[in-house]
Structure 1
């Protein structure tokens, strides 16, 4: 039975990555490695319905990202502390520490942005890449405009200079983070009360680092993406993207945006809510297995 703070059958360890930062990592299985990265406002526990099945024939590695869950939360001395480039290097370091120089990588939401950056920065390490329900950071800022951008109000709030966002969110963290769990899911039962409470506990303890992660995505992460796009850098591994059809609401072609980055793309528009690994885990598992077979 999976608890609200861990995945049953997985071993837990703290893995040093860089700059005195260690990540909380769950590991199980054997064989070629698959690393699964969570989004907001979740922890690695979001993969609880998927990780065990994949561990039947893979080494499955589920870390809490730096700044989240039970991983370390270094003070953001500058934008680089929580740049996706830094967070991607953490994940490569975790895999190497566990004996895997090359691995498949899947991420949801914030974790998908880390996975995207890892695919660009460490192409020799990433064999397959899956991104769930995001656009690359640069594309996201390019398509958000007008009234429809209200869905991303939190992106603009956390992009503000240090101080105000932390105070506002810290004043009512459960209401802020609970908003996304309540409004972005099509099946409220997909996130049981005890799991929801664990997610909110984790976020409540991580407001400064979560804000720093988002602030980096309004600054340094955009710069990194633009430099790669201008230089013609692309994702050279097989890529799978699962995405809600929010492109229709915001007036852009999500598949085309992704195809510009990923020549070997399989893009699927899915029904249901944002938290697809918890709402439709069988579909996500099958998509990951199809990706691994490519």
Structure 2
């Protein structure tokens, strides 16, 4: 992606939408449990604030980021959970203010980053566009957990295009993190966006294919829903395997979510 401005703009819009959900929440609502085990609404926002801070550090102070990573790796327990727990202990108004300040600083840093810059991360180094896309993906996914806790239904937007692209690009990572050799051939991915537009990736004559709603694909690669509850279809054994292990986020394989068993037709065809 040559110009990162569109994804940065969409990251800001996604953050503002989530901000509106929590800005008027009561202290009791901030303490509500979300679908992530052990995480409240406050934990979700604290995690976003923590990751925004880490991203800003990676862009503006790479030596400082390296020290932070080294320190995190020596901490007892999971440093991601530790960061969320620490932030969740703040009063909601302070946590919200910290998240706002941090994400605005990050957006400014992304907009002014030099062309071609690459920044260190917990996984492979990332470009400006990749960093913004990863932040949008996390903001959307954790925002879903917040909305679930608050009993709010969010309307999907075509901002999902960025998450779809990230999910497609991380196919080989998903295989590798599970100790599997990535397929040599690319897949054909055809997904229908919220506006009805067809988003297409890969060669038209590819043997392995994935089709379905873009929203469902995003739920899958962020592990916010079980494959059995999604209207995604795989053609080919490698594509079928991918839908079982897909993840667009760095780190070890996620635990995912249990199937809801709501009667939707199971997806996937290992043809």
Instruction: Please confirm whether the aligned pair reaches a TM-score higher than 0.5, indicating the same fold.
Output: no
- Higher percent of residues as helix: 2
- Higher percent of residues as strand: 1
TM-score, normalized by length of structure 2?
Answer: 0.27
Higher relative contact order (CA 8 A, sep 6+): 1
Bigger-Rg structure (1/2): 2
